Each structure stands twice: as C-alpha cells, then as structure tokens.
C-alpha cells in the first residue's frame, strides 16, 4: 500500500488521533504552549517551535521533509493556516497556496481582491474598506462612506476588537479602545496574534450566517448554512443548523459563497465563510480556509454525519470520496454560550444535570471556582458552551436554551465592584 505522509501544523490532538486512525503517518510541528504528550506517541516526530516564525520554521521543516518524506501539509488552526501554505509552497507540495491563505487571513486584502474583480457579481459581495491609523482616519472614512461602519483588526479572530461606529463623536473613544487592546498582554493566543493593523469597513445590515463548505479540486459544496446569534454586538452567542431560510434566500447564499471562493482561489478543503443577507443580497464579512470554530463542526457532525476534521486530513490523500451535491440533514443541532457577571467565580451549578438531558450533545464549562470572569468583549470572554440536538432547528435551539438555563455560574459581586473601582482609579 502507498504510504500517506503528512506534516501537521499546530492544531488539536483530535486531529492527530483521526489522522492516525486513517493510517496516515505524520510529523507534527507544534508551539510549546500547545503541546500535549499524547502527540509524541501518535506522530513519527514532533518539532517544538513557533511555527509562525518562518526563519525558525524553514530549516526545521526542510530537514523533516528530507528525513520523513511527507508529501502534504495541513493545518486546522487559525494561526497555522498561512504557515502551512507557506511550507507547502516552499517544498512544492501543492495544496492551498500562501497567497490564498493570506487573502483569507488579511481582511483588507480580501476586500481589495473582491473590489478588483472583473465580475460585478463578485464586487457586489464586498463593501468599501480602508486601513486606518487614528481617529482622523475614522472620521474621514465616515464622511466618505457614511455611518454606521465597523472598525476591526485586519487579521485577528474571535470577534476581538470589533466595534460599530455610529457617528463622528464616537471616533476618539473607538480609537482609544484600539490602543488599549494593542497594549493588552493577557490575550488568549497572544503568542500567535499581534494586534496591529486596523481597518474600517461599511456596516452590512441584515441577519448573519456562516456557511460551512468543502472544496473538492475546485468544486465547492455547501455542507450547511448556520444561523448566528450575536445579540446587540459582535460577540457570538450561539449557532444553529440547518439555518431557517426561505429556499430562494438559501440559494442566493449558496451561489454567493461559491462565487466568493472562486474569486479568492480556494480549490481544496474546508472553508468557513461569514456573511449577512443584506437588502441588496448576500455580502461577505470574512472567511477562513478551515472548519468553523465554536464547535460548529460538532453541530455539523450531529446534523449531517460529517466529521469535517477527519475530512480535512483524509482529503489530502483522497481517502474520502468527493461530494457532487449538498448533503441532506438527518436532524438539527444548536449551541448557546454561557456567560456570567464579571468577578470571581464562587460556584458552578447544574452542569451534570444538563449533561444528563437526552437532547444534550455536550456541556462545557470553561471556568471553576476561583477563576476570574471579565466583561464580555470577545468570544474568548465566554465562560462555557452547551450543544443540543433536535428533530428540527427550532427544537434544537429550544433544547440548547434549556441547557443554558440549567447551568449557572455564580460570581462574587463584591469582587466585581472592587475591580471596577480599581479600573476607575487607574483610568
């Protein structure tokens, strides 16, 4: 039998387990903060390095390629996508190119690519955007393109630093928030993401969805359209699939995402594209050449029987057949996120009771007594997650909300108040 040899860049231990179960031999390059000992038992070799540092990574992967002869490179983790594509380009192994991965990482570059298209249908998928470097730039963008508009990092993730600006008076405060975010040293994945460039872009009205796709040698198949719940801001509070959409709207979304992926140049593997169904039609917010976060991949597996993580590694060697049409859902699935008042966690109640409900897929609590809960400023500030299934999307959403009601994270209001006083004194 032909040996399938892979280089895996970063990611979850679950990815490695699935690769091993498929009979794929692999080398792992992993950041030291993300390494788990089990990886060493599954891999042919493990390289501990900051894979986002090309000068460090290049000689290591060249040596590993000579020693182990891997023929494909893959990553499912956001900080590993561009490095994986760069390695593949450098070694001539094919797959997603660094140019494509960079277009999907850099939101301003993505918008420039769409704006430069010869196709009016592709140009219509985007909105005006500009890189900004101060409150004066924000005021100038608002004067040219109108309000509201969105300010966000050009290449971050998890809704971090995304704000809506509704008028000129908000420019100074919004930019003060940018500077405060750049100064933070406690950000999750701080080893991977530097908060640097920011862009302003026109606000897209309408309900928000994500579209989970898999591309088979240039043929893009929509696996599911996912509803997104964001409340009053941009922090994601829940997801559900299949989305409750009129057939005509679902077709417009599917056609828009296929046009988008063609325009970007993605040919193979998973993509997670976020868009809004605006009055003028679907418009893209951002996209990633990976499976969606927030455990959308678990919702997809429950509703459609598709293990997207396994497909990502298996398709590298054509170990799964290419789909020719959209799959049919066998049920529905939804997730909602847990939140708590800022302060110190004093108790967590109801998680085991929620897990015992027959609709529960999983209940995950990310904090325990003694942990500190901050204000809900980004997806990383959420304190847990519940996932549930149902015969249809309405039932799955209701089940997820019931699970959320079962789990209570208590915090100390006195600690929260003291923290607020300290923050005020330091301002």
> How confident is the model over 140-166, as pLDDT tens digits?
999 999 999 999 988 765 567 788 999
In the chain, residues under CATH classification 3.30.470.20 are: 204-330, 331-427
What residues does CATH 3.40.50.20 cover in the chain? Answer: 5-95
Per-residue pLDDT of the chain (427 residues; tens, 9 = 90+): 458 999 999 989 999 999 999 999 999 999 998 999 999 999 999 999 999 999 999 999 999 999 999 999 999 999 999 999 999 999 999 999 999 999 999 999 999 999 999 999 999 999 999 999 999 999 999 999 999 999 998 876 556 778 899 999 999 999 998 888 877 776 655 556 667 789 999 999 999 999 999 999 999 999 999 999 876 667 778 999 999 999 999 999 999 999 999 999 999 999 999 999 999 999 999 999 999 999 999 999 999 999 999 999 999 999 999 999 999 999 999 999 998 889 999 999 999 999 999 999 999 999 999 988 887 776 667 889 999 999 999 999 999 999 999 999 999 964 444 444 334 433 3
Q: What fold characterizes domain 128-202?
A: Dna Ligase; domain 1 (3.30.1490)
- Residue limits of CATH 3.30.1490.20 in the chain: 128-202
In this prediction, residue 229 carries a pLDDT of 86
Q: What is the CATH number of domain 331-427?
A: 3.30.470.20
CATH 3.40.50.300 is the classification of domain 204-330: no
Q: Which CATH class is domain 5-95?
A: alpha beta
Q: What is the pTM of this model?
A: 0.89
* DSSP letter for each residue of 153-210: ESS--TTTT-EEE-SGGGHHHHHHHHHHHHH-S--TTTTT-----EEEEEPPPS-EEE
SS3 for 47-104 is EECCCCCHHHHHHHHHHHHHHHCCCEEECCCHHHHHHHHHHHHHHCCCCCCHHHHHHH
């Amino acid at each position: 039998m032909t040996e399938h040899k892979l280089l895996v860049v970063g990611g979850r231990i679950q990815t490695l387990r699935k690769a091993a179960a498929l009979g794929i031999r692999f080398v792992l390059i992993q950041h030291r903060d993300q390494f788990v000992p089990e990886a060493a038992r599954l891999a042919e070799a493990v390289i501990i390095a900051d894979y986002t540092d090309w000068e460090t990574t290049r000689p290591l992967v060249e040596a590993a390629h000579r020693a182990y002869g891997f023929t494909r490179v893959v990553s499912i983790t956001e900080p590993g996508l561009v490095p994986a594509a760069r390695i593949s380009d450098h070694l001539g192994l094919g797959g997603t190119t660094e140019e494509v991965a960079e277009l999907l990482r850099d939101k301003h570059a993505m918008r420039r690519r769409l704006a430069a298209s010869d196709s009016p249908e592709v140009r219509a998928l985007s909105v005006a955007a500009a890189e900004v470097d101060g409150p004066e730039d924000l005021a100038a963008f608002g004067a040219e393109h109108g309000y509201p508009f969105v300010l966000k990092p050009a290449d971050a993730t998890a809704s971090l630093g995304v704000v809506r600006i509704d008028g000129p008076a908000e420019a100074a405060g919004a930019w003060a928030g940018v500077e405060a975010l750049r100064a933070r040293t406690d950000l999750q994945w701080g080893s991977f993401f530097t908060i640097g460039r920011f862009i302003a872009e026109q606000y897209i009205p309408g309900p928000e969805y994500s579209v989970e796709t898999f591309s088979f040698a240039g043929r893009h198949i929509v696996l599911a359209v996912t509803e997104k719940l964001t409340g009053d801001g941009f922090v994601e509070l829940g997801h559900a699939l299949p989305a409750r959409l009129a057939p005509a709207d679902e077709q417009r979304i599917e056609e828009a995402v296929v046009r988008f992926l063609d325009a970007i140049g993605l040919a193979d593997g998973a993509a997670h594209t976020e868009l809004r169904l605006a009055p003028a039609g679907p418009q893209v917010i951002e996209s990633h050449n990976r499976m969606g976060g927030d455990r959308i991949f678990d919702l997809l597996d429950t509703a459609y029987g598709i293990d997207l993580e396994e497909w990502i590694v298996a398709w590298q060697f054509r170990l799964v057949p290419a789909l020719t049409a959209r799959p049919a859902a066998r049920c529905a699935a939804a997730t909602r996120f847990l939140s708590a008042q800022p302060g110190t966690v004093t108790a967590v109640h109801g998680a085991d009771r929620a897990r015992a409900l027959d609709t529960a897929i999983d209940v995950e609590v990310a904090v325990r007594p003694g942990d500190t809960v901050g204000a809900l400023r980004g997806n990383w500030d959420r304190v847990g997650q519940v996932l549930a299934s149902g015969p249809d999307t309405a039932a799955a959403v209701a089940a997820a909300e019931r699970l959320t009601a079962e789990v209570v994270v208590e915090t100390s209001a006195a600690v929260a108040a003291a923290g607020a006083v300290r923050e005020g004194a330091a301002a």
